[in-house]
Amino acid sequence: MPIDQARMQNKIGAAFDFAGRQLGQLIETYPDYFPMYTIGGKWKHGGEAWTNWCEGFLGGQLWLMFRHTGDPYWRAKAEHYSRLIEHRKTDRDVHDLGFLFWSTWRRWYEVTRDPHSNQVVVEAGQTLSLRFKERGQYLRSFVADESLFIDIMMNVGIIFYAAQQTGDRELLRKATRHCLTTRRYLVRGDGSTSHEGIFNTETGEFLRQTTHQGWRDDSSWARGLSWALYGFGTVYSFTRDARFLATAEACAAFYMENTPPHGVPPNDWAEPNPALPYESSAAAIAASGLLDLAKLAGDATRGRRYHDYALQILDTLTEPAFLAVETPGWEGILKHGMYHQRRGLGVDESVMWGEYFFLEALSKVLGYE
Ligand code: GLY
């Protein structure tokens, strides 16, 4: 049944109000702290990070709050938290510079059109491109030279952007080859995705599909699939290469065919009777990606389907079962996210990227982007 528009607008308004309260509390209680996932609903703890990829999501949420409210408080905080990560534009240790800078300095640039903000984004894209392996034709993950992650599809957009801004054709070549390699080896015929591909670093030969955060090497980790759905759509918007749109749509079809009608998948669709049935961050990412695909898809019927499915996800996520609005003492916005089940990190908790992509998706429904 189609979602009632007026009811949805009210729910989104209430979700933003709640998000503002939670974020205000977070930054006033723990100034200059970059949380990643909660433990028992609390942001501040000494839990392991595994890798440092989340430092843009707090600033990003603050930019989204500024966009929604126009309140200078949020802008000042957004600028502050963006400045705190500027030095990461030369970080060679992670594959996540798109996550860090598209959510923060790119949003800053959209507000001001100030050349320095743009230059920070371009430099981050140039740095990310240095991970490119000629043997194998991919951007290596943070784990090892031999490793390609599906997650990098969410970051490669910043290299296309840097290529566009500078006219550097090498950047364009590397970004395009990375996407074609990912499409060939990590996206399967049914639209499902593998988390990781392993290559022979001497010859560039692809060896096998593996996983870190999914159930099995041959299964589909839900967040990885959401990264692919969203990332290939973004790459299509940069390149207009129909292969990338087809890949994004294949991932969207797999997501919609395999997820219960409420729209929230488990951590991995192959896990039999999961004790924890939800990975809310994968749903938030999928909602945001589907709202983009709704505009990018050439076909009006499919576009409508992506739009309606995204609204279904957001309708579910704005209910108190997911929105922590009726959970006293919970410091996050969205419950039932999952970071790394195997390592026991952020299991059934709030996660920073879940919060960010949830607010981004709500912003898209309101027509801000
Ligand atoms: N990029 C890490 C994750 O999605 O958990």
CB 279 near ligand 1, within 6 Å: no
| Per-residue pLDDT at 1 | 64
| Per-residue pLDDT at 360 | 98
Range 10-21 average pLDDT: 98
How many A from CA of 362 to the centre of ligand 1?
21
How many A from CA of 32 to the centre of ligand 1?
22
Is residue 206 pLDDT above 90, yes or no? yes
How many A from CA of 23 to the centre of ligand 1?
22
Q: Which of 213, 230, 338, 356 gets mutated to test ligand 1 (max ligand atoms within 8 A of its CB)?
A: 213
Domain boundary assignment for the chain: 5-366
User: Among the atoms of ligand 1, which is closest to the Cα of residue 281?
Assistant: 4
Tens digits of per-residue pLDDT, 307-361? Answer: 999 999 999 999 999 999 999 999 999 999 999 999 999 999 999 999 999 999 9
Tens digits of per-residue pLDDT, 92-119? Answer: 999 999 999 999 999 999 999 999 999 9
Tens digits of per-residue pLDDT, 39-76? Answer: 999 999 999 999 999 999 999 999 999 999 999 999 99
User: Among the atoms of ligand 1, which is closest to the Cα of residue 224?
Assistant: 4
CB 185 near ligand 1, within 6 Å: no
Tens digits of per-residue pLDDT, 282-292? Answer: 999 999 999 99
* CA-proximal residue: ligand 1, atom 5 (nearest): 339
One of 1.50.10.10, 3.40.228.10, 1.10.3720.10, 3.50.50.60 is the CATH number of 5-366, namely 1.50.10.10
Range 116-145 average pLDDT: 98
| Per-residue pLDDT at 5 | 87
Range 204-215 average pLDDT: 98
CB 95 near ligand 1, within 6 Å: no
How many CB atoms neighbour CB 305 within 10 A?
Answer: 18
User: Among the atoms of ligand 1, which is closest to the Cα of residue 149?
Assistant: 1
User: Among the atoms of ligand 1, which is closest to the Cα of residue 53?
Assistant: 1
How many CB atoms neighbour CB 298 within 10 A?
Answer: 9
Residue 280, token pair as written in the block: 């809310």
Band the pLDDT of 369: cuts 50, 70, 90. Answer: confident
Average of per-residue pLDDT values in the chain: 97
Question: What b-and-e string marks burial along 28-55, b requiring 16 or more CB atoms within 10 Å of the CB?
Answer: eeeeeebbbbbeeeebeeebeeebebbb
| Per-residue pLDDT at 187 | 98
| Per-residue pLDDT at 298 | 87
CB 223 near ligand 1, within 6 Å: yes
| Per-residue pLDDT at 149 | 98
CB 108 near ligand 1, within 6 Å: no
pTM of the model: 0.98
Is residue 144 pLDDT above 90, yes or no? yes
* Helical segments of the chain, H only: 5-29, 55-69, 72-83, 97-102, 105-112, 115-129, 157-166, 169-186, 222-239, 242-258, 280-296, 300-317, 352-365
Range 129-140 average pLDDT: 98
Range 155-173 average pLDDT: 98
| Per-residue pLDDT at 79 | 98
Range 266-275 average pLDDT: 96
- Burial class from Cβ neighbours inside 10 Å (0-12, 13-18, 19+) for residue 300 reads exposed
Band the pLDDT of 183: cuts 50, 70, 90. Answer: very high
Is residue 2 pLDDT above 90, yes or no? no
| Per-residue pLDDT at 123 | 98
CB 37 near ligand 1, within 6 Å: no
Integer angstrom CA distances of residue 45 from 92, 282, 360 = 26, 23, 26
CB 53 near ligand 1, within 6 Å: yes
Amino acid at 274: P
Tens digits of per-residue pLDDT, 212-260? Answer: 999 999 999 999 999 999 999 999 999 999 999 999 999 999 999 999 9
* CA-proximal residue: ligand 1, atom 1 (nearest): 151
Q: Quote the CA–CA distance of 263 and 71 in Å, as a whole number.
A: 33
Band the pLDDT of 3: cuts 50, 70, 90. Answer: confident
Q: Quote the CA–CA distance of 245 and 179 in Å, as a whole number.
A: 12
Q: Quote the CA–CA distance of 215 and 341 in Å, as a whole number.
A: 9
